[in-house]
Chains A and B, each alone.
Chain A
């Protein structure tokens, strides 16, 4: 079965990589989880090129869910998805309105169970409602 991929977009390369490391455990290595953090030189910021590449890398034919940490990470993803024609044949991809860590956990667990892109997005967005205490 083709599983939905997950792309984690952060201003920080380390934050994205760290979260990817954490949630890959949950996906049993089956769910493609790709980190797109920082600028091309590793400094803080969001890189359109890195995100685009991550989306292509994460796609196994079932689409890709993106999660972002803060404002400009989300704006950069929205610009990429709005463009459509910019990169030829960008895989089907959607951006979740979800908390970064909890949303990524919920997305990867749902993807590993074979959920489709809409189910994975819904799971990530429902993570907003989780109470921690």
Chain B
């Protein structure tokens, strides 16, 4: 795929996956935040 012309490279997809990555990290960190709201246990 490295031999693709510049205009045929997946620029849009690259942007979409970073959007996915950002949502993943936001939800991941939020979940840890929620976890600290419960009682101490373990």
Q: Do A and B bind each other?
A: no
